[in-house]
Every structure is written in C-alpha cells, then in structure tokens.
C-alpha cells in the first residue's frame, strides 16, 4: 500500500470519529472532591476518642457516612462540594451537632460535644486519700465502677452534660455515702468530695479464766494492707478504745515475753467496723494452768519423774519450765510459768530416761496423763517392768523348785515310815 492511500484512510477514520462524537450526548464532568477533617472535643477542649461522627446531606437530610473518632477525636471524610450537617453520638446518644456546613474546599472543623469530666475524691477524716473504696457512678445511660488505690482521685472522662447522676461509695461491701448530681454542668471538671467516717472500737480483754487482762497491748490492723492503724494498752479493767476509719480490721492482743525477749500474740480477731463497736476478746492461752500426772504399769503414781514443758515459737521449741512429780504423781504448773500457752510439747523423764512426749495446744486449763508401762513402782522406786517380770518369774521357779523338793522329801519319809511299819 502506497503512502497516499494510508493518509486517506487515516483521514477517513478521524472524520468518522468526529461524526460519532457529535451524535453522542455531552458527557457529564466529574465533580470535585474535598477532604473534610472533623475533631470532636468536650467542654474542656479535649479530643473525645471513640465518639461516632455521622455526616448528612444538609439539603436532603440524608445520612451519607459515619466514622469513629481516633484517640485524638479526629475523623476524616471525602466530600463533594455542598452543604453538610455533622452529628456526634456516644453510646447512641447525640452529644453534639455541627449544622449546615458549606464544603467547597479542604476543611478542618471542630465539633463541640456536651461532655464533661467528673473527679471523685474519697478521703478519711484526716483528709488523706483512702484506698479500697468501690465507687459506682450511675446515670440514665451508663454505669461505671472503680476502686480507689489511695494515691489518686477517681477521674470519669466524657460524661453527659445536663444528665443526672448517682455516685455510691462502698468499702468492703458496705455503702457509706450516696451523692446525687441533678444536672451535670458544662464545666471542665465537676469535683465530688466524699469523706469516709471514723468509728471507735471498744475492746474488753479477758484471760483464760475470764478475768480482766490489764497491761497488754491491743493493735488494730488494716485487713488488706496489714498496716497498724491504731493501738493501745488495756487498763486495770482490761479495757482500751481504738479509732479507725470504716473498714475491715484484724484485732491482735500482744504480751511481752521476757523469756523470748519479744512480743507474743495472745489472741486474734477480725472485725467489720461499720459503726461504733464493742468487742470482747477472750485470750484462752494467757494465765493457763497445766497439770501432768505420771502413772506406772499398774496405774500407781510415779513420784520424782521430771516433766519438761516447751512451747513452739516459729520453727523452734523453747523450754518454758520443768518440775518433778510429787508423791501423788502430779506436776502442777499453776499458772504455766515463763510464757503463755499455745502450741506446746510435754516430755516426761524417769531416771533421766525419756519415757513419753505429748503435743497439745494449750488453752484454758488442762490435765494430761502419762501411762508409763515401762516402769512399776516398788517401795517408792521405779523398776523396769520387764526386769520385774523376770524377777517374779525366777522367784516363782525357785518357789516351785523348793516346793517340789519339799514334796519329794516328805514323800520319801512317808514311804520309809510305811515300810518300817510293815
């Protein structure tokens, strides 16, 4: 094909294309699109994360799109030129609106939400922040619960303005304060101050014989943290008053042991202090008596046996006292000298030989018996039962032998005499 024909064909193609284009309807121009960035802020001017922002066509009131704000409260829409309305929703409740916004260029808008912050401070009567308080905030829309740690206040962010709230404070499950907010104002922070009351615990301490126990220490210890809150010494009537903020506590009674050179716990109790309280503590291991009796194989008293009493302290056994049994077999520790009762070990020795050990938890007064089958008392002296049996057996054999010999001689004499008579 020559060059002229190619040129003619190309011209024909261009003409045909132009004719077809003239017959088609005019194509619509692509509309312009703009970036629209929205930041949701609360009344304090802080970005609100997690709020849902919706965009409507302002003319047709038609929902076009919705997005959840990021951690700084921002969302971003791509919109055509036009009028738009933006709304903010939190927990399906509308909290702000930005109506009839003209978008003809890239824009950044601010959507103010009717959300404010609440700060709750729970303190004791001395003004110190209090731990272990359960704070529950309830409104028409939500319920939130928190526990205080005693180092900072409870902060509730982005709560609904103009809504009503009820704040309840509990410690160890006991409700001690209810605060109502009729309408939360539109301010940066709404501060709520709660004071937890203090109560008196009147403690009356008795010993094992239910007599007033004077001059012993009583400590009030916070149940969770084990911090000593208050302490005192009982008077002549065994009474002491302690003060503490509402809560749960351990009440420990102490006494100094000169033998161990430190304090020993006489009794422990746990109380819920939800009001002024009177408490009776019975120290069953203080002023106790221990009576030990030693009996031989036949149940007769064993005198002069040595009884040693030890008490366990930590992982060690500490000797408290030792006594010898009397003629009736009794060793009486009245009261137990040197230390209070508790986890004790009693050992019995006869002629410096260990004959028995008994473990007991010594509270109030007790009497225990040692049945020593190994010994039998003979004329006031212990003799080993096995030796006694051997001695008796030998004696019986001798007696039998003597009787047999005597019988034989008598029989011989009788036979001889009879023969003489014949």
pLDDT digits (tens, 9 = 90+) for 215-245: 999 999 999 999 999 999 999 999 999 999 9
pLDDT for 315? 86
Q: Higher model confidence: residue 1 or residue 341?
A: 341
Q: Was domain 290-382 assigned CATH 3.30.360.10?
A: no
Q: pTM above 0.75?
A: no
Region 118-131: mean pLDDT is 95
* More reliable by pLDDT, 385 or 49: 49
> DSSP characters for 286-316?
SS--EEEEEE-TTS-B-TT-EEEEEEEETTE
- CA atoms of 368 and 309, how far apart (whole Å): 12
User: What local confidence, expressed as pLDDT, does residue 214 receive?
Assistant: 95
Question: 198-282, which class in CATH?
Answer: mainly beta
User: How much is the pLDDT for 32?
Assistant: 79
Residues above pLDDT 90, as percent of the chain = 66
> According to the model, what pLDDT value does residue 28 have?
46
> Per-residue pLDDT for 248 more than 90?
yes
Q: What Å distances lie between residue 159 and 87, 169, 184, 321, 366, CA to CA? A: 17, 18, 8, 70, 66
Contact 176, 197 (CB under 8 A): yes
For the residues 72-78, what does the mean pLDDT come to? 96
Lowest mean pLDDT across 114-128, 202-216, 365-379: 365-379
Q: Which of 119-133, 238-252, 259-273, 291-305 has the lowest mean pLDDT?
A: 259-273
Question: Domain residues of the chain, as ranges?
Answer: 33-113, 117-195, 198-282, 290-382
Distance from C-alpha of 257 to C-alpha of 267, rounded to nearest angstrom: 15
Homologous superfamily of domain range 33-113:
Immunoglobulins (2.60.40.10)
Least confident of 101-115, 226-240, 380-394: 380-394
> Mean pLDDT throughout 135-143?
90
Q: How far is CA 51 from CA 61, 75, 240, 413, in A?
A: 21, 10, 57, 133
Statement: residue 346 has pLDDT above 90: yes
User: Tokens standing for 52?
Assistant: 């849902």
d(CA 362, CA 53): 74
Greater model confidence, 157 or 411: 157
Q: Do domains 33-113 and 198-282 have the same CATH topology?
A: yes
Q: What pLDDT shows up at residue 50?
A: 94
* Predicted confidence (pLDDT) at residue 330 exceeds the cutoff of 90: yes
Is residue 9 pLDDT above 60, yes or no? no
Q: What does the mean pLDDT of the chain come to?
A: 87
| 281-328 per-position pLDDT tens digit | 999 998 889 999 999 988 999 999 999 999 888 888 888 889 999 999
Judge whether residue 23 has pLDDT over 70: no
Instruction: Render pLDDT for 177-215 as a digit per residue (tens, 0 to 9).
Output: 999 999 999 999 999 999 999 999 999 999 998 999 999
- CA distance linking residue 359 with residue 310, whole number of Å: 10
- Indicate the pLDDT class of residue 393, thresholds 50, 70 and 90: low
Domain at 117-195, CATH from 3.10.129.10, 3.40.50.2300, 2.40.160.100, 2.60.40.1120: 2.60.40.1120
């Amino acid at each position: 094909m020559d060059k002229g024909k190619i040129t003619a064909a190309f011209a024909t193609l261009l003409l045909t294309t132009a004719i077809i284009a003239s017959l088609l309807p005019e194509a619509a121009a692509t509309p312009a699109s703009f970036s629209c960035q929205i930041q949701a802020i609360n009344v304090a001017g802080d970005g609100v994360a997690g709020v849902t922002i919706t965009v409507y066509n302002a003319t047709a009131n038609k929902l076009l799109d919705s997005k959840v704000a990021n951690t700084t409260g921002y969302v971003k829409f791509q919109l055509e030129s036009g009028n738009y309305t933006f709304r903010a929703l939190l927990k399906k409740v509308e909290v702000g609106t930005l109506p009839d916004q003209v978008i003809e260029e890239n824009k950044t808008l601010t959507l103010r939400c009717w959300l404010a912050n609440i700060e709750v401070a729970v303190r004791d009567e001395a003004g110190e922040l209090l731990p272990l308080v359960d704070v529950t905030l309830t409104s028409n829309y939500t319920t939130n619960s928190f526990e205080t740690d005693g180092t900072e206040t409870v902060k509730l962010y982005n709560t609904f303005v103009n809504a009503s709230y009820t704040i309840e404070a509990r410690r160890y499950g006991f409700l001690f304060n209810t605060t109502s907010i009729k309408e939360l104002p539109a301010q940066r922070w709404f501060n709520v101050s709660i004071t937890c009351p203090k109560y008196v615990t009147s403690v009356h301490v008795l010993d094992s014989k239910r007599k007033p126990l004077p001059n012993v220490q009583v400590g009030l210890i916070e149940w969770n943290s084990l911090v000593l809150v208050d302490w005192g010494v009982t008077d002549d009537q065994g009474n002491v008053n302690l003060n503490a903020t509402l809560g749960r506590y351990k009440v420990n009674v102490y006494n100094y042991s000169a033998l161990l050179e430190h304090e020993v716990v006489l009794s422990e109790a746990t109380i819920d202090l939800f009001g002024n309280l009177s408490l009776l503590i019975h120290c069953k291991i203080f002023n106790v008596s221990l009576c030990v009796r030693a009996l031989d194989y036949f149940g007769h008293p064993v005198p002069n046996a040595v009884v040693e009493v030890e008490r366990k302290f930590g992982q060690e056994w500490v000797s408290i006292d030792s006594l010898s049994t009397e003629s009736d077999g009794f060793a009486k520790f009245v009261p137990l000298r040197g230390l209070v009762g508790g986890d004790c070990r009693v050992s019995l020795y006869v002629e410096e030989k260990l004959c028995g050990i008994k473990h007991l938890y010594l509270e109030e007064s007790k009497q225990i018996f040692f049945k020593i089958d190994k010994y039998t008392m003979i004329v006031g002296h212990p003799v080993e039962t096995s030796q006694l049996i051997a001695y008796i057996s030998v004696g019986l054999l001798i007696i039998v032998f003597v009787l047999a010999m005597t019988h034989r001689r008598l029989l011989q004499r009788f036979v001889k005499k009879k023969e003489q008579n014949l």
